[in-house]
Structure 1
Amino acid sequence: MLTELRLQHQQRQFLIAARRLLSERGEANSLGLARELVARLAALEPASLEAVFHRLARDFNPDPKMVLAAAQAYADTPEAEQLLALIKLSEPPRQELFRRLNRAPGATGTLVRLRRALLTGLSRHPEWRGVEADLLHLFSSWFNPGFLQMRQVDWNSPAQLLEQIIRHEAVHEIDGWDDLRRRLQPDRRLFAFFHPQLPEEPLIFVEVALLPEMPGAIAPLIDKKAETMAPDKYKVAVFYSISNCEPGLKGVSLGNFLIKRVAEHLQREIPRLKTFCTLSPIPGFAAWLAKTELAELPGLKKVQLERARAARALLQEACGGEWAKLSQAEPLAKLDEAQQQALLRLAAVYLVGQTATPQGDPVARFHLDNGARLERLNPLGNRSAKGLKQSCGLMVNYLYDLGKIEGHHEAFTQGDIAYSRGVAALL
């Protein structure tokens, strides 16, 4: 009973403070009230936090009658004054609440953690979607890539930062300090991006390998016992891992053109670098291959679709209808040349035909939307359990031609995918 009373008291005090902050008096004294409210928010217990989400979703919405009246006024007289009134009245009051909260020192991090907690319960509480949409809307402005600061991380960086890099690596797990040390040697680079309001917390980081040629397999790049390469052999910069560090920023486009920023930095440092590319997984391919019957795919000609169906039939016969076998190293290694070519063709079909849709491969969408070109497919490029399970061992090189990034990005927004002649030959 005491616990329930304490939770109710927490919720009540928070909501009273929120109303005060949104009042005229609150606007005049916003900094002190915001600081007080941020402290209360950070101290809320999980049960109280859920109750606060419910109240934010229910009690901090626009007044529907006032919105309707403003909309009708704008429809009758579509001029700037009526439009501005409609915009003001249709904005949920909780957006202004979050803005005023963000005036307090440390509030940005608290709000990011607030959204992280909200996202964990969103599937159970769809009524919170309005609150989530408001936070996403605000974060998309506050965390615009133009605000992010790029820093190179090396072995002399603070231990706390290095620990965060190890913890947040999401593509190729870092196996302790020796592994990290190798990834920070002179023929490797690691760049992290920070927001001025969160100066000690990396939001996203990019790992780069400097090599003599475009790679087709990941194992040599992340071998912690590999010899360090001499600088005169650096010709290609390979972006082999990009990791987001903050779940509370899910859906916020942090990565837009960050690779271009890294590439331009490297080109200034090492002018001999001429090629910038990735070595990337295809995390949605195996699941798509097992479920898709290839009835139709956007952007593919009839003859290409017929070849894709023939390739799928050949692979289905090779694995005896057990598609999971194509996520195992031994059966993949036993594929003959025609079967291997069929697998590559289907991967090309998936990347070219599916990526422009919302159901497309997330990694492909990221790089193509950032202005890359689909350059090359590499069989058995990733023999790890994760690589086999998700991508049938395949990896992709996306090419970043610095002079064509904007053009490729614009084309992708119109549904057109840039790909090489080698990929075209597979279709």
Structure 2
Amino acid sequence: MLDEIRQAATRQRQARTLRALVQGSHKLLSADGESGGLVLAAQLLDRLDAFDDTEIGAWFDHLARELDPDPQQVLARAQAYADKPDAATLVALTQAVEPPRQELLRRLNRAPGGTKAILRLRRQLLRLLPRRPDLQAIEADLLHLLASWFNPGFLQMRQVDWNAPAQLLEKLIVHEAVHAIDGWDDLRRRLQPDRRCFAFFHPQLPDEPLIFVEVALLPEMPPAIAPLIDKGATPMAAERFRVAAFYSISNCEPGLRGVSLGNFLIKTVAQHLQRELPRLRTFCTLSPIPGFAAWLLADPAGPDFSALNGLRKPAVDALREAFAHLQQSQRGELQALQHAAAWQALPAADEAALQRLCAAYLLHHSPTPRGDPVARFHLDNGARLERINSRGNMAPKGLRQSFGLMVNYLYDLDRVEANHTRFRQGEVVRSRAAASLL
């Protein structure tokens, strides 16, 4: 009985808070004065901040139900534009099509802390979407606005070094998503002169890295990750720097999912390093291949190589032979290659077979919507598939995802736009070494 009373009281409290939110939203939309609007926006953000994911869903329901465009007005103005397609009718149609909730979000963003609050709202919405697809229109509005507010032209690229505030350095440890940072000693090594870290910051969030990239300065293109993240390695002299290898890129803000930042960060950092260190001649990555093992193991009979675009029959036959060779070598248990023990005496022929299969995956599967996400990121960014490295990452995660293979993508800054265009047309630009694997 007591629990029922408490639950009823909670529902009443939530209903009152929701009514206040709805009323506050309409007041904010109708506010004329700048100062009055800021006060209303701050009050509304305070109420929203107290809502958990379940409670905020009710407010999202209101936005979806009550703050959609007026269909009749849209239809009338669309007809007017069709009858007389000039600037005035186009502007009127554009105004009618935009949902009022976009203006509500803009006004919330003007309040102190508004940008951070909008990002928090989108994080909550993204958690709700899998079971609330009816809120997809609000997601589209938020993504549209955030893509404008976080346009790379508004962002600041800064190098993060060991002298940065401890709170900022701790965020690098927390958000590193590719190669975990093993405490402060590991981080300190990654910030020494032959290792660099660069991040994008927004003026409204000056102490919050949005995304960061880690770079190793080396004499040659690296084939394996372990030497790059060895916290006991001796720093290299600057006169030996010839290659800048991007070996990790991590997003720090889930509320910006889908907002393109990483591609601009890599290119901006490459241009910065080129100016700072004119001896650098090569800009590349050492990248994981997170989808390769899952693709190869999805069907015990192997992938349907004949369905891969652009492969002729001799290449298809060679891939089937490579897969059959591995099956026989591992006695039908390809999963064994996801464990270090299987690699202790692995024949060179087995490694060559894996590289050939990986080349097919990257060159002919990556252009598809279901292709490897890291490959699609770099290739769509204008990089060239340069080299596939066996035993590139023998850590458990690397073995599990890609049988230890890693890949170098080459960033030729004079060719990235042309390479990007070719990838969008379904072609992966590759080196001769990568092409020769098929």
What letter matches 1:69 in structure 2? A
Bigger CA drift: 69-78 or 217-226? 69-78
Normalised by the length of structure 2, the TM-score is 0.93
Aligned residue for 1:58?
65
Q: Is the 8 A contact 2:362 2:372 kept in 1?
A: yes
**What SS class does the counterpart of residue 67 from structure 1 fall into?**
helix
Aligned residue for 2:9?
2
Q: 1:324 aligns with which of 323, 335, 338?
A: 335
**What SS class does the counterpart of residue 122 from structure 1 fall into?**
helix
User: 1:25-44, aligned counterparts within 5 Å?
Assistant: 25=32, 29-44=36-51
**What SS class does the counterpart of residue 257 from structure 1 fall into?**
helix
What letter matches 2:388 in structure 1? L
User: 1:176-195, aligned counterparts within 5 Å?
Assistant: 176-195=183-202
Aligned residue for 2:209?
202
Q: CA deviation at 1:26?
A: 6.8
Q: 2:409 aligns with which of 374, 398, 406?
A: 398
Q: Distance in 2 between matches of 1:313 and 1:76?
A: 65
Q: 1:280 aligns with which of 272, 276, 287?
A: 287
Bigger CA drift: 197-206 or 83-92? 83-92
Q: CA deviation at 1:218?
A: 0.4
Aligned residue for 2:320?
309
Q: CA deviation at 1:87?
A: 2.0
User: 1:123-142, aligned counterparts within 5 Å?
Assistant: 123-142=130-149
The count of corresponding residues between Structure 1 and Structure 2 is 427
Q: 2:90 aligns with which of 75, 83, 90?
A: 83
Q: 1:252 aligns with which of 259, 277, 296?
A: 259
Aligned residue for 1:415?
426
Q: Is the 8 A contact 1:208 1:239 kept in 2?
A: yes
What letter matches 2:160 in structure 1? V
Q: Distance in 2 between matches of 1:273 and 1:25?
A: 55
Q: 1:144 aligns with which of 119, 135, 151?
A: 151
Partner deviation per Cα, 1:143-194 (whole Å, 9 max, x = no partner): 1122221111111100000000000000000010011111111111111110
Q: CA deviation at 1:320?
A: 3.0
Aligned residue for 1:20?
27
Q: Is the 8 A contact 1:408 1:418 kept in 2?
A: yes
What letter matches 2:338 in structure 1? S
Counterpart check, 1:261 vs 2:272: no
Aligned residue for 2:181?
174
Q: 2:224 aligns with which of 209, 213, 217?
A: 217
Aligned residue for 1:296?
307
Q: CA deviation at 1:27?
A: 7.2
**What SS class does the counterpart of residue 110 from structure 2 fall into?**
coil
**What SS class does the counterpart of residue 131 from structure 2 fall into?**
coil
| Greater than 6 Å deviation, 4+ residue runs | none
Q: CA deviation at 1:302?
A: 3.5
Q: CA deviation at 1:367?
A: 1.0
Q: Is the 8 A contact 2:199 2:209 kept in 1?
A: yes
Aligned residue for 2:3?
none
Q: Distance in 1 between matches of 2:147 and 2:344?
A: 45
Aligned residue for 2:18?
11
Q: Is the 8 A contact 1:122 1:129 kept in 2?
A: yes
Q: CA RMSD in A?
A: 1.7
Bigger CA drift: 219-228 or 315-324? 315-324
What letter matches 2:375 in structure 1? A
**What SS class does the counterpart of residue 242 from structure 1 fall into?**
strand
Q: 1:372 aligns with which of 383, 386, 392?
A: 383
Partner deviation per Cα, 1:23-72 (whole Å, 9 max, x = no partner): 26477843222222222222224432121122222222112222233333
Structure 1 residues without counterparts, runs of 5 or longer? none
Q: Is the 8 A contact 2:31 2:37 kept in 1?
A: no
User: 1:146-161, aligned counterparts within 5 Å?
Assistant: 146-161=153-168
Q: Is the 8 A contact 1:10 1:48 kept in 2?
A: no
Bigger CA drift: 369-378 or 21-30? 21-30
Q: CA deviation at 1:311?
A: 1.8
Structure 2 residues without counterparts, runs of 5 or longer? 1-7
Q: 1:73 aligns with which of 80, 84, 87?
A: 80
Bigger CA drift: 51-60 or 209-218? 51-60
With over 3 angstroms needed to count, the CA separation of the structure-2 counterparts of 1:69 and 1:173, relative to structure 1, is same
Bigger CA drift: 41-50 or 253-262? 41-50
Aligned residue for 1:239?
246
Q: CA deviation at 1:319?
A: 2.7
Q: 1:343 aligns with which of 354, 360, 363?
A: 354
Q: 1:361 aligns with which of 343, 356, 372?
A: 372
